[in-house]
């Protein structure tokens, strides 16, 4: 219980920051800004979820977006009105075309489904380490994508699934982001999290100390899948349209670049990285469309955003593989700062 | 019978192409434990070198083939020098993520400076034709691809068995530290491994492009994913495994294409990757590998 309180206290700094961001956007932003801010919170949820497994276990994970996809499609199928579903997916199995739930029930069922699929995939994946584990997660991403594209009766295949009613707004996204950060912090501080971090530092040493590596990895994997799934639900219930490519390599690398830049070993790193990459990404996207700056018309350069992501991944892994924050959390820096002040007196 | 022979040749040529790419991945992995996902971009860069030289210099068509192979080799060595050397001592997953970064970087450089749309590239006319063996009409490309694969693999074996640098590479695959203590330069061994992988990718690129007749920035992605599967099938880092894995995957794909009904054909890649997952979990040493326990002495 004390851990719960401690983690809650440690979530306060980022939570205040996020809420301020949200208030600023609501007060001063236009529709476009709201959209950008919402996507920032969605990505933050996904990156926090990614951090739970990848950051603590030190196993690179490329399959996380498949869970966002599963949750998003599940909530889309359950929440879209039956009248619309009769034309979108008339042949859906299990009578799914004829039922409609409210968005809370739909989200809960979607997350439960994601957790179950996460648990099943985790049974196999948590037995792997190093490169083999990463390849395994990649295989998961490809398999889930192929299913999305080909199970036309329920996902509409490569054509987008549209017409999902918009149910959520910015406050929900902030709430979800704060919850995701809190859960990620709580897991990192917990005994399981500590054991998993030890196994990430040195697998054999941790095992010889009695850490049951498969068990803690599986826990982190299911938790990570559920949090990432929450990101998928947020995405579907705001955008209203989802397609298999929303949950494939582009989004995978965007979120991985965010985590690597900030430093995957800490939750604060995940938050910092998401913020910096999101701001940089918007800036580069403006450049990409060829804006006019000081009377000079710049050419449009498609591919600049992808170039930016690739450059972040390559440069940071080469020069600062631990990211900006390394293993530090915000309060570590805060404590060090206070100590320096005290020393000066 | 004719149909069977034709499909067999098809399987051999597809398998040969995968084997060439998988060997390139395996040779790099065996030396520095790097899963080089940017391998596919070597194909794209070779292709774009062909396209650009047609655009600016218009050389004779047969001269494009050595240009493609040379540029692929050069790019492989550049990747090593610029991107992979700084992460050489990092854990293998860091290298894997770097390779993905390089891959995205190169793809988008091609998008920015050339175009997203496919660009046509000429290949010699005779490669597109068919030839008769007995009473069988077969595409020249397929025969040529099978022969070239055999030649390239023989060349690779000669390099590994008969030269000093080949010996160093084989030794490095077992124990790099000891190799360095023997006075062999690490950089030279790694450079050679990348150059060889670039050469093999360049050869594969010529055939891939002669089939498609065009290049686009993302063309390397699917072939390298397949090569990757081939490596896992054969056991990662084993050269014999990469060869066998490539051929098995080629045969399996052609077989599934012929056999699977059209409703489930779309799920083919899901089956392939499910197989990859199962092999990783149940038999990580691959189809032909031997299980090695800690402390085993290998012959």
Residues B272, B224, A261: CA angle, nearest 5 degrees: 105
Mean pLDDT (whole number) for A13-25: 83
Asked whether the beta carbons of residue B267 and residue A139 sit closer than 8 angstroms, the reply is no
Range from A98-102, A169-173, A175-179, A261-265 that averages highest in pLDDT: A175-179
Q: d(Cα A146, Cα A244) in Å, to the nearest integer? A: 9
Q: Which residue of A has its CA nearest to B106?
A: A307
Contact B23, B242 (CB under 8 A): yes
B222 contacts chain A (CB < 8 A): no
Q: Is residue B173 part of a domain?
A: yes
Asked whether the beta carbons of residue A131 and residue B35 sit closer than 8 angstroms, the reply is yes
A311 contacts chain B (CB < 8 A): yes
pLDDT at A162 over 60: yes
From the list B86, B111, B276, which residue is nearest A302 (CB)?
Answer: B111
Q: Which residues of chain B neighbour A250 with C-beta distances below 8 Å?
A: none
Nearest alpha carbon to residue B217 among A310, A254, A146: A310
The pLDDT assigned to B73 comes to: 94
pLDDT at A300 over 80: no
Q: Is residue B296 part of a domain?
A: no
Contact B273, B280 (CB under 8 A): no
Mean pLDDT (whole number) for B160-184: 87
A127 contacts chain B (CB < 8 A): yes
Nearest alpha carbon to residue A42 among A174, A160, A226, A165: A174
Written as six digits, the tokens of B179 are: 């190799």
pLDDT at B87 over 80: yes
Q: Is residue B218 part of a domain?
A: yes
Name which residue leads in pLDDT, B123 or A79. Answer: A79
A147 contacts chain B (CB < 8 A): yes
Q: Which of A63, A153, A258, A310 to mutate to test the interface with B (most CBs of B within 10 A)?
A: A310
Shortest alpha-carbon distance between residue B118 and chain A (Å): 15
The pLDDT assigned to A21 comes to: 83
Q: d(Cα B98, Cα A251) in Å, to the nearest integer? A: 17
The pLDDT assigned to B102 comes to: 92
A146 contacts chain B (CB < 8 A): yes
How does strand B214-215 pair with strand B119-120?
antiparallel
Give me the phi and psi of B213, to 5 degrees please: 75, 5
Which residues fall within 8 angstroms of residue B258, CB to CB, at 6 or more apart? B7
Q: Which residues of chain A neighbour B109 with C-beta distances below 8 Å?
A: 303, 307
Nearest alpha carbon to residue B296 among B164, B150, B174, B156: B174
Q: Is residue B298 part of a domain?
A: no
Mean pLDDT (whole number) for A60-86: 89
What Å distances lie between residue B129 and B8, B10, B121, B140, B211, CA to CA?
19, 15, 16, 6, 11
Shortest alpha-carbon distance between residue B52 and chain A (Å): 19
pLDDT at A1 over 60: no
Which of A24-28, A87-91, A262-266 shows the lowest per-residue confidence on average (mean pLDDT)? A87-91
pLDDT single digits (tens) B201-231: 999 998 888 888 888 888 888 888 888 888 8
Asked whether the beta carbons of residue A135 and residue B93 sit closer than 8 angstroms, the reply is no
A230 contacts chain B (CB < 8 A): no
pLDDT single digits (tens) A238-288: 988 899 988 988 889 889 888 888 888 888 888 988 998 888 888 888 888
pLDDT at B299 over 50: no
Shortest alpha-carbon distance between residue A305 and chain B (Å): 8
Contact A260, A317 (CB under 8 A): yes
Max Cα distance, chain A (Å): 74
B98 contacts chain A (CB < 8 A): yes
The pLDDT assigned to A220 comes to: 94
Q: Is residue B278 part of a domain?
A: yes
Asked whether the beta carbons of residue B232 and residue A135 sit closer than 8 angstroms, the reply is yes
The pLDDT assigned to A119 comes to: 95
The pLDDT assigned to B77 comes to: 94
What Å distances lie between residue B128 and A213, B15, B91, B122, B140, CA to CA?
55, 19, 45, 10, 7
Mean pLDDT (whole number) for A304-324: 85
The pLDDT assigned to A313 comes to: 85
Residue B136 pLDDT class (50, 70, 90 cuts): confident
The pLDDT assigned to B74 comes to: 94
Contact B24, B89 (CB under 8 A): no
The pLDDT assigned to B71 comes to: 94
Which residues fall within 8 angstroms of residue B168, CB to CB, at 6 or more apart? B179, B184, B188, B189
Q: Which residue of B has its CA nearest to A157?
A: B266
Mean pLDDT (whole number) for B80-98: 84
The pLDDT assigned to B79 comes to: 93
Q: How many CB atoms lie within 10 A of CB A263?
A: 25
Letter string b/e over residues B125-163, b meaning 16 or more CB atoms within 10 A of that residue's CB: eebeeeeeeeeeebbbbbbbbbebbeebbeebeeebeee
From the list A134, A139, A310, which residue is nearest B96 (CB)?
Answer: A134
Give chain B's domain count: 1
Shortest alpha-carbon distance between residue B89 and chain A (Å): 11
Residue A181 pLDDT class (50, 70, 90 cuts): very high
Q: Which residue of B has its CA nearest to A131?
A: B93
Range of the domain at B133: 2-282
Q: What is the CATH number of the domain that holds B194?
A: 1.10.3470
pLDDT at A112 over 90: yes
pLDDT single digits (tens) A114-161: 999 999 999 988 888 777 888 889 889 999 999 998 888 888 888 888
Mean pLDDT across chain A, nearest whole number?
86
The pLDDT assigned to B248 comes to: 87
Which letter does DSSP use for residue A135 in this model? H
Contact B110, B234 (CB under 8 A): no
pLDDT at B143 over 80: yes
Which residues fall within 8 angstroms of residue A302, CB to CB, at 6 or more apart? A288, B111, B112, B116
DSSP symbols for A171-239: HHHHHHHHHHHHHHHHHHHSHHHHHHHHHHH-HHHHHHTT--HHHHHHHHHHHHHHHHHHHHHHHHHHH
Q: Which of A317, A319, A321, A322 to mutate to test the interface with B (most CBs of B within 10 A)?
A: A317
Asked whether the beta carbons of residue A309 and residue B104 sit closer than 8 angstroms, the reply is yes
Q: Is residue B209 part of a domain?
A: yes
Q: Is residue B288 part of a domain?
A: no
Range from B21-30, B212-221, B235-244, B284-293 that averages highest in pLDDT: B21-30
Residue A59 pLDDT class (50, 70, 90 cuts): confident
The pLDDT assigned to B1 comes to: 67
Q: d(Cα A184, Cα A173) in Å, to the nearest integer? A: 16
Q: d(Cα B26, Cα B19) in Å, to the nearest integer? A: 10
The pLDDT assigned to B56 comes to: 86
């Amino acid at each position: 219980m004390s851990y719960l309180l401690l983690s809650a206290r440690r979530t306060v700094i980022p939570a205040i920051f996020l809420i301020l961001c949200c208030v600023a956007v609501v007060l001063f932003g236009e529709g476009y800004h709201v959209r950008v801010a919402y996507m920032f919170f969605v990505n933050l949820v996904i990156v926090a979820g990614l951090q739970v497994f990848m950051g603590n276990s030190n196993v690179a994970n490329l399959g996380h977006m498949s869970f966002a996809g599963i949750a998003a499609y599940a909530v889309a199928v359950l929440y879209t009105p039956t009248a619309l579903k009769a034309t979108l997916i008339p042949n859906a199995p299990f009578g799914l075309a004829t039922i409609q739930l409210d968005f809370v029930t739909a989200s809960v069922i979607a997350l439960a489904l994601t957790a179950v699929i996460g648990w099943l995939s985790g049974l196999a994946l948590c037995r792997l380490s190093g490169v083999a584990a990463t390849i395994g997660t990649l295989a998961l991403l490809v398999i889930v994508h192929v299913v999305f594209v080909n199970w036309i009766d329920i996902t509409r295949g490569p054509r987008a699934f549209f017409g999902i009613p918009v149910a959520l707004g910015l406050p929900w996204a902030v709430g979800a982001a704060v919850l995701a950060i809190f859960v990620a912090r709580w897991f990192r501080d917990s005994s399981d999290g500590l054991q998993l971090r030890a196994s990430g530092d040195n697998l054999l040493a941790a095992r010889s100390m009695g850490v049951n590596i498969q068990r803690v990895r599986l826990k982190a994997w299911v938790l990570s899948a559920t949090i990432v799934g929450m990101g998928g639900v947020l995405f579907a219930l705001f955008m209203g349209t989802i397609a298999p490519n929303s949950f494939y390599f582009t989004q995978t690398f965007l979120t991985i670049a965010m985590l690597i830049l900030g430093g995957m070993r800490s939750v604060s790193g995940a938050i910092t990285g998401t913020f910096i990459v999101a701001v940089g990404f918007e800036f580069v996207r403006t450049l990409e469309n060829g804006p006019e700056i000081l009377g000079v018309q710049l050419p449009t350069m498609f591919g600049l955003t992808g170039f930016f992501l690739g450059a972040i991944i390559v440069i940071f892994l080469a020069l600062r593989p631990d990211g900006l924050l390394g293993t530090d959390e915000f309060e570590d820096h805060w404590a060090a700062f206070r100590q320096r002040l005290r020393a000066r007196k | 019978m004719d149909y069977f022979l034709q499909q067999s040749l098809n399987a051999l040529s597809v398998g040969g192409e995968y084997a060439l790419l998988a060997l390139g991945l395996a040779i790099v992995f065996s030396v520095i434990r790097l899963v080089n996902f940017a391998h596919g971009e070597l194909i794209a860069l070779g292709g774009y070198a062909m396209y650009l030289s047609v655009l600016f210099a218009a050389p004779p068509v047969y001269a494009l083939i050595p240009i493609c192979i040379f540029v692929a080799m050069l790019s492989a060595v550049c990747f090593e020098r610029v991107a992979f050397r700084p992460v050489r001592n990092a854990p293998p997953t860091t290298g894997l993520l770097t390779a993905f970064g390089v891959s995205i970087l190169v793809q988008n450089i091609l998008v920015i400076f050339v175009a997203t749309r496919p660009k046509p590239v000429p290949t010699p006319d005779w490669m597109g034709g068919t030839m008769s063996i007995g009473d069988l009409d077969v595409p020249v490309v397929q025969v040529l691809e099978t022969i070239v694969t055999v030649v390239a693999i023989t060349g690779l074996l000669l390099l590994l068995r008969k030269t000093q640098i080949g010996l160093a590479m084989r030794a490095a695959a077992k124990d790099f530290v000891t190799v360095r203590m023997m006075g062999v330069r690490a950089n030279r061994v790694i450079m050679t491994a990348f150059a060889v992988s670039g050469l093999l990718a360049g050869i594969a690129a010529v055939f891939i492009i002669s089939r498609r007749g065009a290049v686009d920035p993302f063309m390397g992605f699917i072939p390298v994913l397949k090569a990757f599967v081939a490596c896992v099938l054969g056991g990662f880092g084993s050269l014999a495994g990469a060869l066998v894995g490539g051929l098995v995957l080629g045969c399996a794909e052609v077989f599934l294409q012929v056999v699977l009904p059209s409703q489930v054909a779309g799920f083919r890649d899901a089956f392939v990757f499910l197989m990859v997952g199962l092999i990783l979990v149940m038999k990580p040493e691959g189809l032909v590998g031997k299980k090695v326990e800690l402390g085993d002495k290998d012959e």
